[in-house]
Structure 1
Amino acid sequence: MKDERTLVEGCRNKDRIAQRTLYERFAGRMFAVCQRYTRSRFEAEDVLQEAFIKVFSQIHTFRYDCPLEAWIKRVVINTAISYLRKEKAYLEQADIDNHTDAVAENETALSGIQYQQLLSLVRELPPGCQSVFNLYAIEGYQHNEIAEMLGISEGTSKSQYARAKQLLQAKMLESF
């Protein structure tokens, strides 16, 4: 079951061993993704389980044009975003474009901080800022992609990111 193609085909055929192998291979890294979008370990576990249910039910749509891990990660991120919407912990819709200009581009406070410390601080952000920060700074999406994914304007995405950076910098200065 080590070959990715064999693993995918096994999952498509509802082979429990293949499904378990796929889950065990990717669950740890995907749990870390879930933690970036949720406020507790319990919520992250829920999102992870829901995401893997979707992975197994949608595995027939996987094409080999991208790595399996990237496809699974996309399912996990989309599941986390859906979870946030369901829980009404969704983005503030106010577009504060003017605020973006006021935020300094000082990102030096983010360098050198431990991952767990940053994760803890990111979890304290308002839900909108948290989602945009994760998608832009950690997952590498562009603001136009984030806007489409979340159903917001590109300006809102930029302002939420700027606000997230400002809040994180303030929290880091407080903490350290």
Structure 2
Amino acid sequence: MFQVDIIEQCKQNNRKAQLQLYNQYCDGMYIVAKRFLKDAADAEDVVQEAFIKAFTKLHQYKAEVTFGAWLKRIVVNKSIDFLKARKQQLVELEEVHLKVVDMPKDDKWLVEDTITLDDVKVAINELPEKYQYVVMLYLIEGYDHQEISEILDISEVASRTQLSRGKVKLQKLLTLKKNGTRS
């Protein structure tokens, strides 16, 4: 069955199609939620809530982006809402695909080869919360500033500023690690 057909059937409240769509995306969406949340059960709850919201708002899906991208945004928003409600810190990341490697050299966003992925994870978790969200959404989730501004309900200028400041703080943390002055 084609993706479009499944979505159309889901819009008609076809439970079998909803289960099929859920099974297709639940693992990937759990990984996204787990990047934000410390507890596996919390991540599962957020994914469930995201699917409920997606199925109730499916009529708003216009296929301008893939269904997976649309659903991912719901999961990210639900995760951030959960964190805001509980005022929890961001979790250590298990799978990270940082844009750091892909950034142009003139961006002055370079880290030493001796810095490990674990060092980056620890450093991100040490950032102030307002920088953690923007850094994580931009570097790890791949959102642009317009999307981040919508997700966090801040201006694009604030997103750019917080990312810039967060990257400076992150680099300082990583430089301290490299120089051995951090434990």
User: Do Structure 1 and Structure 2 share a fold, with TM-score over 0.5?
Assistant: yes
In the aligned structure 1, how far is the partner of 2:119 from the partner of 2:9?
A: 38
Pairwise CA RMSD of aligned residues? 3.3
Q: When the two structures are superposed, what TM-score results if normalisation uses the length of structure 2?
A: 0.70
The alignment-based identity, stated in percent, is 31
**Counterpart for residue 48 of structure 1:** 47
Other-structure match for 1:107: 111
**Residue of structure 1 aligned with 2:142, choices 140, 158, 172:** 140
Q: Which amino acid aligns with 2:51?
A: F
Q: Runs ≥4 in structure 1, deviation > 6 angstroms?
A: 171-175
CA-to-aligned-CA distance 1:51-107 (integer Å, 9 cap, x gap):
11111111111112221111111111111122222223489xxxxxxxxxxxx7333
Describe how 1:38-77 pairs up with structure 2 within 5 A: 38-77=37-76
Correspondent of 1:151 among 150, 153, 156: 153
Q: Tell me which residue corresponds to 1:128.
A: 130
* 1:123 Cα deviation after fit: 7.7
Matched position secondary structure for 1:85? helix
Q: Structure 2 residue aligned with 1:162, among 155, 168, 180?
A: 168
Partner Cα distance (1:120, 1:32) in 2: 16
1:115-158 CA-partner distances (Å, limit 9, x unpaired)? xx589647844543432222111122234542443134231232
CA distance in 1, matches of 2:123, 2:53: 26
* Residues 145, 14 of structure 1: alpha-carbon distance in 2 compared, 3 angstrom cutoff: closer
Offset at 1:46?
A: 1.7
Asked if the contact 1:133–1:161 (Cα under 8 Å) also holds between the matched residues in 2, the reply is yes
**8 Å contact kept, 2:131–2:162:** no
The count of corresponding residues between Structure 1 and Structure 2 is 160
Taking a change above 3 Å as real, the CA distance of residues 56 and 148 of structure 1, as seen in their structure-2 partners, is closer
Contact 1:48 1:76 in 2 (8 A): yes
Deviation at 1:173, TM superposition (A): 8.4
- Give the equivalent residue in structure 1 for 2:15: 16
Q: Residue 82 of structure 2 aligns with which residue?
A: 83
Of the structure 1 ranges 149-158 and 18-27, higher mean CA displacement relative to structure 2 is found in 149-158
Report 1 or 2 for greater relative contact order, CA contacts < 8 Å, sequence distance ≥ 6.
1
Distance 1:83 1:32 in 2: 16
Q: Which runs of 5+ in 2 are unaligned?
A: 91-107
Structure 1's 12 and 159: CA in aligned 2 closer, same or farther, altered over 3 A?
Answer: same
